[in-house]
Amino acid sequence: MQLSPSVTIARCESGLEYLQVNSPLCQARIFLQGAQLTEYTPANQKPLIWVSSEEDYQEGKSIRGGIPICWPWFGVHQNPEWPIHGVARVSLWRAEEVKEEQDAIRISLSLPMAQVDKTYWPHNTKLEVEYVLSDKQLEVRLTNTNLGDSPVQLTQALHSYLPTPDITQTSVDGLQGAQYIEFGEGPFEQQEVVHFGRETDMVYSDAKPLQRIRTPDGTIEVARENSRSCVLWNPWVDKSQRLSNFADDEYHKMLCLEAANVLDDKVELAAQQSHTLATIIRWG
C-alpha cells in the first residue's frame, strides 16, 4: 500500500508489517510493532542503524537492533516478573501521518492505550513518536501527554543500536564529567573518552547533550533533547552468547548509545502536561 510518493506499507516473511521509505533523501524502515525503526541510511552515506543478522522479526518479541522504545519503564521493573524495558516495544502501534516535505519525511505513530495492560499502566496518557528523516540526520521524538487529573511518573529510553566495523577501535567522546552507575555500582565520574575492552553497561546522569562516537567508518554524532541521562551498552563476549537473536561475535560490530529519562531524570508529568524525549543521530 502506497502512503506517499516515497513511503509504502509492506510485510516481512514472518508477517510483521512495516513502513518502507525509499526516497532520494534516505532509505528507512519502521515496523508497526514497537514503532521500531530498523533502518536509516542517508543518501550517499553508510547506514546509521544496526540490526542483528540473527533477527527473525517475530510477533510479540522485541527486535534485536534498530531503536526499541523502552516505555513506561527502562530496564528491570521493581516487580521482576514484569517485562524488561516495558511494553511499548512489543505492542502494535498505529501509523497516524506521513508527510513528505522538500528536505524531510515525517512519520508519526501512536500507541493505542487500549492495547496496554492496565496492570502495567493504569494511567490516562497518550504516547506518540515522530520520525524526521532527511539526507543529513535522523530525529526521533517520543511524546508523553498526561490526559488525567493526577501526576504521572515514568522512565524511558530510545535504545539506539549503532554500527561500527570494529568496537575495539571505537571510542565515545562527550561523556567526560558525567556521573555513571555500572552493574549496580557507583556513581563514578567519567574522566576520559570511553574505549571498549569489556562488557559495558553504563547509565549516565547529567550528561552533555551531544556525544561523538568515533569509528573506523567515521564519526557518529548522537544528540539529545529533554534528557539529562543516557545509556552506553555493549554486551562483549560472554553476554553475547546468552542473548537471543544475537550472533556470538556481533558485539564486535555494534554499540548502543541511548537517549533516556532514567534515575533522577525520570519524567514527572503534571495533569495535562506533555514531555518530548528526542534523539538526533547523524554522521559528523
Write down the catalytic residue from 85, 123, 159, 252.
Answer: 159
Continuous H helices in the chain: 236-240
Q: How many residues does the chain have?
A: 284
**Catalytic site residue from 128, 130, 250, 258:** 258
Eight-state DSSP code of residue 265: G
DSSP 114: G
User: Is 258 in the active site?
Assistant: yes
Yes or no: say if 266 and 144 are a contact pair by the CB < 8 Å rule: no
Number of H helices, E strands in the chain: 1, 24
Residues 34, 38, 43, CA angle at the centre, nearest 5°?
140
Look up 159 and say whether it is catalytic.
yes
In 3D space, the residue among 85, 43, 44, 46 whose CA is nearest the CA of residue 67 turns out to be 85
> Catalytic residue numbers?
159, 258
